[in-house]
């Protein structure tokens, strides 16, 4: 081992080992001395030697030091984005610069394997799971309503700006016992730490404008953001597939506070409000295809606070809480619907390292949700609501046998007071490093989630739904090239079935549904081969069927497509100071149900294809100009048909095609960051 440092403690006598690992040095010291041999990444070696003037020969073997950062990590099912780890697959900046995402966190994730693009939804669909099976957490606490409110069959976006986050973990299965109430995936978003300087950010886009200001003080900072979006100018200039009585408009404001509470502690607070509205006119198959207005007013308030610190030398604690209040007021035809979700999440996690190689984590959490729905029709009125408190406790041990082998064993218990149900979920995962650059990883666990709100409104006789995950993955990263292969199997049990009968009767629902999903996910990323270029390719094969909700039999669900392909390319043009991006996505045809056909979910929609481009130009150090186009080649995308609820005189259900809001989307924007740069009189920054 060349370059190791050998010396007598407290003296100036020593030497570095040469190319063959040998070292020798002379000393004038005598008597008892301590010889130290040190090398980065290895445990220091020390030996008492008795110096009597003659030559001492020694054979020193250094033991590799255990370091969690260099040790194997469990990658089964997980895409982690942080810039500290070597084997990252995607990074936070990718979230922002992926073409086609147009600044949407969820849009960017849909270029990763395991996801299926559902153009009429925009939400995440992971490994044969429905969108409700995925949960989003910010700084450890749940986001009850992560997406903007939207009309049926119209794509939505996430509520949060990707620039807020410094790190992301997207787990598509087999996740830790720390996470519950999600059958398919969890997305963990971590907000930025302390900003470096006071700044003012201005952005003007073709669809709106935003201003954000950051002010620092001793060990703390506050950021205030205000944005206004109005699609009226944009939508009136570009071709749209639907008529809008009122173009989407929204006002959003947010305040975020960060405060260091000690040398190791950090408190974060984030609060935002969001008010949006639109009136959309869609063809109504029940009214002979005449346009019908769908009017929506949404109000959303979200508060999130978290605190992380060390208690004493070893204990680490993180506590997080969030509160969501979301109201939707909807009007269509003669019906008005008022819905309100009030969600509270409280969570505390404690971890204690018994040694570097054995870390125990435990914690508890409470999910509280109140959902109320008020429906008014000319001759009917329904008022329903429920409150469900789910209490959970979990514990998990992470055990390293060496830097090469790690296992994580844990369990989780949950109790829902509304359903009066108690569940126990074991979780197990392990990873083994075959070489420095490659590793195998496996995960197994039971996952429970309360049935969707629409059912809980009418019944408390249900149990949580369940999915068992089996995930096996291989990952290898060599020289800025990464390959991942993942095989998985998911066994769905206790899914809620609608058994016929009146929808408002509790007895019309039971837990007899079931299903499976299995597939293969491939991921290849290469930042090396093309100079200044970086690309990744994702492919997912998915085979899934389920019998749930109103399915008459086991069938492929409409949100699943067998083959999903995505290729993302980014290129830095230094002389143009520009980052260009392209993203091609393909999803094989999904199924939909035609009530005129005897086969359930027997029809196939068009395959989804889209080529998206984006361009960011660094005009000045603090000015970025950004432009993006989706579906430049104008592929025709259609998401099946929407059918009338009642048959016409000939006994046929009339259908109308479900199209995207527009075939293409263009965005142009300018981002300006103003800072007070000056070095002379910033003495207050000196600690």
Shortest distance in whole angstroms from residue 686 CB to another protein: 5
Return the number of the residue (218 or 381) whose C-beta is nearest another protein.
Answer: 218
Segment contacting another protein by CB under 8 A, of 374-382, 419-427, 557-565, 675-683: 675-683
**Which x/- pattern, by CB under 8 A, does the window 576-615 give for another protein?**
-x--------------------------------------
Cα torsion 177, 179, 184, 189 to 10°: value is -130
Q: Which of 604, 620, 652, 657 binds another protein (CB under 8 A)?
A: 620
Return the number of the residue (14 or 253) whose C-beta is nearest another protein.
Answer: 14
Instruction: Specify burial of residue 288 (Cβ count, 10 A radius: 0-12, 13-18, 19+).
Output: exposed
Q: How far is CA 100 from the centre of its chain?
A: 17
Q: Which of 29, 38, 376, 452 binds another protein (CB under 8 A)?
A: 38
Spatial distance between the Cα atoms of 642 and 285, rounded to a whole number of angstroms? 7
| Residue 1 is a binding residue for another protein (CB under 8 A) | no
Check residue 288 and give left, alpha or beta (phi > 0: left; psi -120 to 50: alpha): left
| Residue 674 is a binding residue for another protein (CB under 8 A) | no
Return the number of the residue (4 or 496) whose C-beta is nearest another protein.
Answer: 4
Q: Which of 64, 197, 333, 417 binds another protein (CB under 8 A)?
A: 197
**Which x/- pattern, by CB under 8 A, does the window 54-83 give for another protein?**
-----------------------------x
Inter-residue contact 187 to 124 (CB < 8 Å): yes
Q: Which of 7, 234, 447, 608 binds another protein (CB under 8 A)?
A: 7
Cα torsion 667, 673, 674, 679 to 10°: value is -160
| Residue 649 is a binding residue for another protein (CB under 8 A) | no
CA distances from 608 to 213, 321, 585, 602, 640 (A): 40, 39, 8, 18, 11
Spatial distance between the Cα atoms of 389 and 345, rounded to a whole number of angstroms? 10
* 396-415: contacts with another protein (CB under 8 A): none
- SS3 per-residue string spanning 606-623: CCEEEEEEEEEEEEECCE
* Number of residues that this document lists for the chain: 687
| Residue 680 is a binding residue for another protein (CB under 8 A) | yes
Segment contacting another protein by CB under 8 A, of 88-96, 153-161, 232-240, 602-610: 88-96
| Residue 682 is a binding residue for another protein (CB under 8 A) | yes
| Residue 263 is a binding residue for another protein (CB under 8 A) | no
Interior CA angle at 363 toward 165 and 177, to 5°?
Answer: 75
Return the number of the residue (553 or 684) whose C-beta is nearest another protein.
Answer: 684
Spatial distance between the Cα atoms of 30 and 429, rounded to a whole number of angstroms? 54
Strand duo 165-171 + 78-81: pairing: antiparallel
Shortest distance in whole angstroms from residue 477 CB to another protein: 9
* 416-455: contacts with another protein (CB under 8 A): none
HSE at residue 308, side-chain half, CA atoms within 13 A, is 11
Return the number of the residue (13 or 491) whose C-beta is nearest another protein.
Answer: 13
| Residue 11 is a binding residue for another protein (CB under 8 A) | yes
What residues contact 683, with CB distance under 8 A and at least 6 apart? none
For the chain, first and last CA: distance in Å?
Answer: 41
Return the number of the residue (196 or 237) whose C-beta is nearest another protein.
Answer: 196
Segment contacting another protein by CB under 8 A, of 36-44, 300-308, 330-338, 494-502: 36-44
Inter-residue contact 350 to 140 (CB < 8 Å): no
Shortest distance in whole angstroms from residue 239 CB to another protein: 36
Closest CA to 469 of 140, 114, 131: 114
Number of residues that bind another protein (CB under 8 A): 40
Residues that bind another protein (CB under 8 A): 2-5, 7, 9-12, 14, 16, 19, 36, 38, 40-41, 83, 86, 91-93, 196-197, 479-480, 572, 577, 618-621, 677, 679-683, 685-687
């Amino acid at each position: 081992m060349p370059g190791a440092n050998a010396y007598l403690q407290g003296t100036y006598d020593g030497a570095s080992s040469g190319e063959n690992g040998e070292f020798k040095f002379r000393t004038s010291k005598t008597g008892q001395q301590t010889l130290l041999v040190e090398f980065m990444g290895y445990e220091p070696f020390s030996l008492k030697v008795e110096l009597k003037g003659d030559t001492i020969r020694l054979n020193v073997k250094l033991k590799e030091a255990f370091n969690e950062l260099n040790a194997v990590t469990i990658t089964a099912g997980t895409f982690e984005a942080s810039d500290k780890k070597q084997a990252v697959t995607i990074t936070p900046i990718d979230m922002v610069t992926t073409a086609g995402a147009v600044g949407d966190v969820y849009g960017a994730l849909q270029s990763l394997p395991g996801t299926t693009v559902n153009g009429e939804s925009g939400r995440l669909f992971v490994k044969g799971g429905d969108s409700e099976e995925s949960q989003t957490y910010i700084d450890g606490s749940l986001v009850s309503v992560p997406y903007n409110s939207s009309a049926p069959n119209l794509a939505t976006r996430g509520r949060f700006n990707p620039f807020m986050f410094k790190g992301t973990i997207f787990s598509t299965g087999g996740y830790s016992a720390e996470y519950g109430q999600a059958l398919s995936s969890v997305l963990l978003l971590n907000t930025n730490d302390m900003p470096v300087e006071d700044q003012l950010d201005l952005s003007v886009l073709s669809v709106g404008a935003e201003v954000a200001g950051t002010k620092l003080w001793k060990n703390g900072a506050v950021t205030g953001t205000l944005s206004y979006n109005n699609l009226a100018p944009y939508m009136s200039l570009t071709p749209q597939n639907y008529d809008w009585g009122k173009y989407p408009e929204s006002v959003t404001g947010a305040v975020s506070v960060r405060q260091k509470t000690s040398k190791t502690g950090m408190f974060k607070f984030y609060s935002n409000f969001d008010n949006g509205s639109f009136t959309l006119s869609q063809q109504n198959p029940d009214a002979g295809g005449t346009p019908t207005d769908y009017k929506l007013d949404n109000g959303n308030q979200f508060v999130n606070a978290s605190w992380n610190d060390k208690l004493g030398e070893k204990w680490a604690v993180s506590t997080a809480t969030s509160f969501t209040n979301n109201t939707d007021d909807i009007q269509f035809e003669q019906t008005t619907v008022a819905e309100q979700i009030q969600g509270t999440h409280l969570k505390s996690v404690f971890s204690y390292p018994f040694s570097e190689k054995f870390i125990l984590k435990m914690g508890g959490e409470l999910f509280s949700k109140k959902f109320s729905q008020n429906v008014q029709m000319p001759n009917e009125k329904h008022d329903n609501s429920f409150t469900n408190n789910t209490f959970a406790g979990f514990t998990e041990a992470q055990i390293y046998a060496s830097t090469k082998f790690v296992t994580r064993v844990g369990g989780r218990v949950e109790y829902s007071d509304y359903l009066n149900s108690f569940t126990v979920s074991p979780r197990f995962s392990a990873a083994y490093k075959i070489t420095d650059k490659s590793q195998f990883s496996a995960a197994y666990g039971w996952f429970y989630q309360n049935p969707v709100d629409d059912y809980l409104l009418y019944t408390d006789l249900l149990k949580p739904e369940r999915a068992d995950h089996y995930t096996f993955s291989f990952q290898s990263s060599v020289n800025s090239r990464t390959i991942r292969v993942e095989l998985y199997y998911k066994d769905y049990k206790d899914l809620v079935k609608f058994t016929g009968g009146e929808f408002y009767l509790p007895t019309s629902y039971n837990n007899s549904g079931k299903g499976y999903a299995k597939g293969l996910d491939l991921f290849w990323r290469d930042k090396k081969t093309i100079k200044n270029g970086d690309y990744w390719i994702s492919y997912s094969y998915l085979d899934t069927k389920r019998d749930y909700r109103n399915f008459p039999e086991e069938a492929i669900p409409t949100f699943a497509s067998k083959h999903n392909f995505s290729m993302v390319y980014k290129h830095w043009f230094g002389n143009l100071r520009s980052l260009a991006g392209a993203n091609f996505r393909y999803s094989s045809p999904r199924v939909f149900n035609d009530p005129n056909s005897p086969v359930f979910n027997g029809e196939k929609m068009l395959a989804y294809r889209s080529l998206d481009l984006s361009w960011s130009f660094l005009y000045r150090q603090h000015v970025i100009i950004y432009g993006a186009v989706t579906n430049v080649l104008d592929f025709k995308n259609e998401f099946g048909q929407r059918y009338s609820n009642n048959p016409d005189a000939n006994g046929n259900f009339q259908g109308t095609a479900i199209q995207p809001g527009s075939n293409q989307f263009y965005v142009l924007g300018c981002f300006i960051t103003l800072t007070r740069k000056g070095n002379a009189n910033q003495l207050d920054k000196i600690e």
